[in-house]
Chain A
Amino acid sequence: MSNVTQKTSGGSAACYILELQKVCKSFGLVQANKNIDLQIQPGTIHGIIGENGAGKSTLMNILYGLHRADSGSMFIDGAPTRIKSSADALSLGIGMVHQHFMLIPRFTVLENVMLGSEGGALLKLGRASTIAKLKELGQTFDMEVDPDLLVSDLNVGMRQRVEILKALKGGAKILILDEPTGVLTPQEATQLFDILNKLRVNGVTILLITHKLAEIMAITDNVSIMRGGEMVGHRKTSETNPQELAELMVGRKVLLNVEKPEAMPMDVALTVKNLGCFSSRGHKVLDNLSFEVRAGEILGIAGVSGNGQTPLMEILSGMRKPDEGSFEILGKKITPENEVTPNIMRENFIGHIPEDRHKHGLILSFEAYENMILGFHNSNLTGTKKTLDKNYMLEHCDARMEEYDIRPRNSKLLASSFSGGNQQKIVVARELYKNPKLLIVGEPTRGVDVGAIEFIHKQLIALRDRGCAIILVSVELDEIMGLSDRILVMNKGQEVATIRGEDANAQNLGLMMAGISQGAKN
């Protein structure tokens, strides 16, 4: 393993495996990448960090040939290069593991790996050599996979290994990983980092795209920070810290961990008893779930995505009927026989910040002021007239935008024109305005930038301290640990355990999310 660290002055690119100079890319009027300079040393893990919309993905797509840069130049091993297609990138030894896997579930591992480099017109010709190559790579990097298994039968972690094997089998010297841990449990993420370390030792250069500061600090050698389509800084990981990186990403000081005073739980606001429900295919997606939440506390619900959190939130918000069991919200009992609608729930002072804001939180083709009253169209938020009072609604929206610092401050802008963070602030502003007594929150900061995360977290804690009971569903462990007073861990629709917030750490939560209870139930 070469440890090339000397930085030659000027543009001598000989010691960089990959170098970008003044790369620009625009989509219409939006400049996604502005004069990007980037230098990657061989055999290192180089992190690229930035908020959503900072231009990370565009840059990687340029490197991988999916987009073409408008201007600027690229050098690989010091030689000027143009990459026009993925085929070009592959032949230059650039492999990519996409955020959404490029695997075909109905194909076997072998078929997936062979696709694009079959080794001849007949599959027979390349099959044996591919199997041998897979075995060799699997042994070298400790990630063996049975080539005859169907990809649909593999779990997410294994699928990611197949993606990495696919890239390596194609001879990748530079491996780009786009948000690789977003879909993994903490244990799987640790295993991934072990693999990445082995790859680095064997001379593979890795570009790690992420918005998680902890990952950058844990594994990278160098880090480049992007903001608003520009490179705003390059650091050696050993010479920086999360606080500095966060400030570079956001462009101002941010609090990574919102201060949280001691909770003062009061009366029980929600009691859930033996709740169960089935999917449309008849699988049990919620199984005998019981818990309670008190006014003035935040109950975090942790779990790998798809383990029953979604149906739970849908039932509690009135979008879906439970099949078994019952729950009691603020003294109102609901069983499978009761009629429940989101409207009834809302009239009972229950707020809901849905996990998919595009699908359930906003109507993207409506203007901001209309979205600000969604679901409250029968209340006084639409003015005192019989018909909708547009001026009244606009004023209401203007006031909320001021209060929540929603930008741009234009109540007549379409919801789709706001950034993810500002869209989420619209939803939060709407749901918090009526001072709910119970708030159901799903993934409040998914696709939201660091600055807005801080703001939303502060709002949630302030609401709790005003005596609201909050159920927080999130797959982000940092968020769960940072906000929750108690944490309920779910696996396959069941409760694994409930622990106190201060007892939680990434290790014990991770194990419980994988379904391993440690008897820590209290």
Chain B
Amino acid sequence: MIDFFFQVLWALDATLRVATPLMLCAMAGIFSERSGIVDISLEGKLLSGAFVAAAIASLTGSAWLGLGGAICASVLMSLLHGFACITHKGDQVVSGVAINFLASGLTVILGIAIFKRGGQTPTLSSDERFRPIELWFVDILDNLPILGSVYRELVSGHSLLVYIALICVPVASFILYRTRFGLRLRAVGESPIAVDSAGVSVTWLRYRALIVGGVFCGIAGAYLSISHGANFVREMSAGKGYIALAAVIFGNWRPISAFWACLMFGFLDAITSRLQGVDLPIIGEIPSQLMVALPYIMTIILLSGFIGRPSPPSAIGLPYRK
């Protein structure tokens, strides 16, 4: 019984670690897509953020500079996306895919050029990374039977970036639904012409949405390479950007719902490694490839309208022309 309890606790703990970049990317996706810009480039922003964070942390020895660099790189990618599909009214999916290719190639080329390790960055020492932090009262609460362990194992002991990601979700929700910026952002994704005729600049509004998304993706990238991991490995984003996009759709473009979708996908990922080679009763061994594909399969089922009907922003994917 106790054993099972700790198994669950560790699985949830792993879920949180895996879901952190998903949450940040999903919030980025929500901001961008709610403003009417398809954001398939989450993956590329995440990857470039991860590379720049590891590279700068390794060169300067400062995790904070790494984080700052990651945010700058990711915002830069966002601006490129915006330049192509807001200013020049290009196809948003094409631009997004191009950014993903660009990030995939550029990180490896720069990595080889700077560090000469086949695209990897040197392994960072622990003070060049965001280390797990112990929250207050851990020792006091330890005396409590179940709550103590939950607090020590699950709530406490994560890196600062995990807590930032968790805070980002209610903050994103607050911005979207309670602020002027959020109202205009939601409006521009529904009907840009209505926003324009209300005397608000569609272009600037959409750029701002993309910049906010860039900041979120940058933090997510830094988490991958200088908090969860200790260096940059080529293609280390490994489709997390796409999964985050699936979570956005699953959450019906709402921050809180998307947060739950991220946790669900994170949980699937966390138990995949645990279930490898384990014979389950009745079903037997589950192929790990199936588990990896599961979020995509679920998204396709959702999009084909079997479970409710997703309601994307009305003007998504359409460049605004007067």
The smallest beta-carbon distance between B184 and chain A, in angstroms, is 7
**Given the interface contacts A66-B322, A103-B194, does A90 sit within 8 Å of B179 by beta carbon?**
no
Give the chain A neighbours of B182 by CB distance below 8 A.
123
Interface contact B179-A104, CB-CB below 8 Å: no
Q: Which of B154-206 contact A (CB under 8 A)?
A: 178-184, 186-187, 190-191, 193-200
Inter-chain contact A86/B183, CB cutoff 8 Å:
no
- Contact at B198–A121, with CB atoms within 8 Å? no
Note all chain B residues with C-beta closer than 8 A to A89: 199
CB within 8 Å for A115 and B195 given contacts A106-B190, A123-B183: yes
A85 within 8 A of B: yes
Contact yes or no, B180 A104, CB < 8 A: no
**Count of interface residues, chain B, beta-carbon cutoff 8 Å:** 22
Whether B183 lies near A115 (C-beta < 8 A) is yes
Contact assessment for B178 and A124 in the assembled complex, using a CB-CB cutoff below 8 Å: yes
| B197 nearest CB across to chain A (Å) | 5
Tell me the dominant secondary structure on chain B's binding face. Answer: helix
Q: Would you give the 0/1 interface string for A117-137, flagging 1 where the beta carbon is closer than 8 Å to chain B?
A: 110111110000000000000
Which residues of A sit under 8 angstroms from B195, Cβ to Cβ?
115-116
User: Is A471 interfacial (CB-CB < 8 Å)?
Assistant: no
- Kindly state whether residue A48 has any CB partner on chain B within 8 Å: no
Among A96, A116, A117, A124, the most chain B Cβ lie within 10 Å of the Cβ of: A116
Interface hub of B183, B195, B322 (most chain A Cβ within 10 A) = B183
* Contacting pair A104 B193 (CB below 8 A): no
Q: How far is the CA of A270 from the CA of B42 in the complex (A)?
A: 60
Q: Is A87 an interface residue (CB 8 A)?
A: yes
- Measured CB to CB, the nearest residue on chain B to A85 is B199
Q: Kindly state the interface size class of chain A when it binds its partner.
A: 20 to 34
CB distance from A64 to the nearest CB of B (A): 8
- How many Å from the CB of B32 to the closest CB on chain A? 18
Q: Is there an interface contact between B180 and A118, defined as CB atoms closer than 8 Å?
A: yes
- When each residue 98-121 of chain A gets 1 if its CB lies under 8 Å from chain B and 0 otherwise, what string results? 100011111100011011111011
Closest to B194 in A: A102
Query: Smallest distance from the beta carbon of B180 to chain A beta carbons, Å?
Result: 4
Q: Select which of A85, A88, A111 is within 8 A of B183 by beta carbon.
A: A111
Q: Are B198 and A116 in contact (CB under 8 A)?
A: yes
Given A104-B190, A104-B191, A107-B190, also A90-B183 (CB < 8 A):
no
Q: Is the CB of B199 within 8 A of A116?
A: yes
**Chain A residue nearest to B200 in the complex (CB):** A116
Q: Looking at the complex, which one of A91, A105, A115, A123 makes contact with B198 (CB distance below 8 Å)? A: A115
Q: With A104-B187, A104-B190, A115-B187 known to touch, is A66 a contact of B180 (CB < 8 Å)?
A: no
A122 in complex: contacting residue of B180, B194, B198, B322, CB < 8 Å: B180
Docked pose: A64 CA to B199 CA in angstroms = 10
Task: Determine if B196 and A86 form an interchain contact, defined as CB atoms under 8 angstroms apart.
Answer: yes
B197 CB contacts on chain A under 8 angstroms:
64, 66, 86, 96, 98, 102
Residues of B within 8 Å of A115, CB to CB, are 183-184, 187, 194-195, 198, 200
Min CB gap A346→B, angstroms: 37
State whether B199 touches A120 (Cβ < 8 A).
Answer: no
- CA of A121 to CA of B183, assembled, Å: 10
A102:B180 contact, CB within 8 angstroms = no
Given the complex of chains A and B, what is the CA–CA distance between A114 and B197 in angstroms? Answer: 13
Residues of A contacting B314 in the complex (Cβ-Cβ under 8 angstroms): 105-106
Q: Are B183 and A122 in contact (CB under 8 A)?
A: no
Q: Is the CB of B199 within 8 A of A121?
A: no
Of residues B180, B181, B184, B314, which shows the largest number of chain A Cβ atoms within 10 Å of its Cβ? Answer: B180
Contact pick for A102, options B178, B198, B311, B322, CB 8 Å: B198
Q: Which residues of A contact B184 (CB under 8 A)?
A: 115-116, 118
Q: B199 contacts A122, CB within 8 Å?
A: no
Q: Are B191 and A102 in contact (CB under 8 A)?
A: yes
- The complex places the Cα of A66 from the Cα of B195 at a distance, in Å, of 12
User: Could you list 14 A-B pairs, sorted by A, with CB under 8 Å?
Assistant: A90-B199, A102-B193, A102-B194, A103-B191, A105-B314, A116-B184, A116-B198, A118-B180, A121-B179, A121-B180, A122-B179, A122-B180, A123-B179, A123-B182
Q: A88-B199, A123-B182, A124-B178 are in contact. List 7 more A-B contacts (CB 8 A).
A: A86-B196, A96-B197, A102-B197, A106-B311, A115-B187, A118-B183, A121-B181
